[in-house]
Amino acid sequence: MTALPPGSTIGILGGGQLGRMIAVAAAQLGYRTHVLAPDAESVAAQTASSFTRADYHSRIVLDEMAASCDVVTYEFENIALDPVEYLAGKVPVHPAPAALGIAQDRALEKQFVDDLGGRTAPWRKVTSREELADALAAIGAPAILKTLRLGYDGKGQVRLASAQEADAAWEAIGGRPAILEGHVAFDHEFSILLVRGADGAMTSYPPPKNEHADGILARTTLPAPGEIAAQWTEAAALAGRIADRLGYVGVLACEFFVGRDGPVFNEMAPRVHNSGHWTIEGAVTSQFENHVRAICGLPLGDTALTAPRVEMENLIGEAAHLWAEILAEPGAHLHLYGKRAARPGRKMGHVTRIAPIIS
Ligand code: AMP
């Protein structure tokens, strides 16, 4: 792929904060961005060069997008596959739709990783109440029942302390196709943020420790504790095999638990990721810039830390009202996403705290 020159247009499917931060990074490199999203108010559109408010399935809109964009990317993995595949027939789309197809189906995703020699929690696909009973007999409890599709931030999943809770769990997920996963006892969670260029070059960021609250990422911290650092090489190697097998171009996020015998793969997101927001100030090149570099065929940027200690805290709901206090803190970088209503559980922004380099 020849590099897209500055002035080229990047299409972004999805109108949320990830698209917003991709658009900012693209603008810095001299690219234009065009956002397509159905939302009346898109926080990505606020920072993009242009915006089409439309359904993803309109062929007229997709044809226009293909004609006006030099490359297209997406910022959320629950977008329907069909419009992405349609676009890919007309304009380069990165990451390739195949990555999206796998990430959208938890069973395909786990099988894909198992086949690549990755370590996953014991799991079984479950499409009926009877299969749930069989899976529980095979895997045991405690376990987690996760819907095959459309789960994120802990949504679409139920924990089972014992097999007696099977009826309630099956009802709670609405009897939808799912996987049952054995509970992994872990002390830490971390993620590998890998970027693969159009020429196959790859690099990954130092892995942060991720802490969740109510199923939503609350905080990422670097450097991560030794238990995570010890599993970085193996986890990054798996992420690299995933990216190579998919011919992946762009940023790929893979989430892991620190297992007793090595990193346990939980899930992947074929996009920039919340656990990489710290890279805007905390790494030499941000995940957003590296995503843009990759999809535009440019050389990848350095992923090294810029400070001895970096912490990213999500501002969920009313926590964003603390903006004035945060701005008064030395070393704090505030990011607000331009959303109007601070509803509970809604990601309104984040703050990255950088420890000063003491010489
Ligand atoms: P997920 O939607 O798969 O990312 O799950 C959300 C969160 O639930 C994870 O970040 C973990 O904290 C927890 N979790 C998910 N799967 C497991 C598991 N098999 N064992 C223990 N905790 C889990």
Q: What's the pLDDT at 357?
A: 67
- Distance in Å, CA 148 to ligand 1 centroid: 14
Is the CB of 75 within 6 Å of ligand 1? no
For residue 255, give the ligand 1 atom closest to its CA: 4
Q: What's the pLDDT at 355?
A: 85
Is the CB of 184 within 6 Å of ligand 1? yes
Q: What's the pLDDT at 256?
A: 98
Residue whose tokens read 């999500």: 314
**Alpha-carbon torsion 290, 294, 296, 300, what sign?**
positive
Distance from C-alpha of 70 to C-alpha of 318, rounded to nearest angstrom: 39
Is the CB of 9 within 6 Å of ligand 1? no
Q: What's the pLDDT at 154?
A: 62
- Distance in Å, CA 291 to ligand 1 centroid: 26
Is the CB of 109 within 6 Å of ligand 1? no
For residue 185, give the ligand 1 atom closest to its CA: 21
Distance from C-alpha of 160 to C-alpha of 147, rounded to nearest angstrom: 14
For residue 72, give every residue at least 6 positions away whose Cβ sits within 8 Å of its Cβ, in sequence order, or none.
Answer: 10, 11, 12, 13, 65, 66, 87, 88, 91, 92, 93, 94
The three-state secondary structure class of 221 is: strand
Is the CB of 154 within 6 Å of ligand 1? yes
Six-digit token string for 208? 């942060």
Nearest to 209 by CA among 223, 195, 196, 197: 223
Q: What's the pLDDT at 186?
A: 94
Q: What is the pTM of this model?
A: 0.96
- Distance in Å, CA 144 to ligand 1 centroid: 8
Distance from C-alpha of 85 to C-alpha of 87, rounded to nearest angstrom: 5
The number of CA neighbours under 13 Å toward the Cβ of 331 is 13
DSSP letter (8 states) at residue 78: T
- Distance in Å, CA 267 to ligand 1 centroid: 9
The three-state secondary structure class of 214 is: coil
Is the CB of 215 within 6 Å of ligand 1? yes
Task: Spell out the per-residue pLDDT of the chain, length 359, in tens.
Answer: 789 999 999 999 999 999 999 999 999 999 999 999 999 889 999 999 999 999 999 999 999 999 999 999 999 989 999 999 999 999 999 999 999 999 999 999 999 999 999 999 999 999 999 999 999 999 999 999 999 997 665 678 999 999 999 999 999 999 999 999 999 999 999 999 999 999 999 999 999 999 999 889 999 999 999 999 999 999 999 999 999 999 999 999 999 999 999 999 999 999 999 999 999 999 999 999 999 999 999 999 999 999 999 999 999 999 999 999 999 999 999 999 999 999 999 999 999 999 876 65
Is the CB of 187 within 6 Å of ligand 1? no
User: Which of 106, 120, 144, 190 has most ligand 1 atoms within 8 Å of its beta carbon, as the pocket-test mutant?
Assistant: 144
- Distance in Å, CA 28 to ligand 1 centroid: 36
Is the CB of 343 within 6 Å of ligand 1? no
